[in-house]
Amino acid sequence: MNPKAKKIMIADDDPGIIDAVEMLLEFEGYEVTSTVDGSAVLNMKEKLPDLLLLDIWMSGEDGRDICKKLKHELTTKNMPVIMISASRDVKASALAAGADDFLAKPFEMDELLKKIALLVSDR
């Protein structure tokens, strides 16, 4: 493991998305963790990721609510969040919830990498 590697957490209830994105990000040199449980994101206390990739529609949880809670916590308020959704018409509500960026599924992996690089470069 590269101690300088940026840490990215993927929170999505679709294991296929997690597998594909995790493989890509690890190939690009990121350290990746993932969860299919939205509430697990709220229980992060230490070893926070440098960026959170958060699905809006998670089983039992709305990613926008999770994002709002994270942005109101002192320890996580500056953590960049990119929200992803299969629905393109939720971008405004994702950004209103405090997301730093938004991507509609299916997305181009190059576009995801560019957005991640922009948000983690200064961390």
Question: Phi first, then psi: what are they for 2, rounded to 5°?
Answer: -85, 115
Overall average pLDDT of the 34-57 stretch: 89
In which region does residue 97 sit, left (phi positive, over 0), alpha (psi from -120 to 50) or beta (all else)?
A: alpha
Give domain 7-120's CATH architecture.
3-Layer(aba) Sandwich (3.40)
Whether the CB-CB separation of 82 and 103 falls below 8 Å is answered with yes
72 contact partners, CB below 8 Å, separation of at least 6: none
Q: 21-34, pLDDT tens digit by residue?
A: 999 999 999 999 99
pLDDT-derived band at 3 (thresholds 50, 70, 90) equals low
- CA 3, CA 59: separation in Å to the nearest integer? 33
Residue 40 clears pLDDT 90, i.e. is over it: no
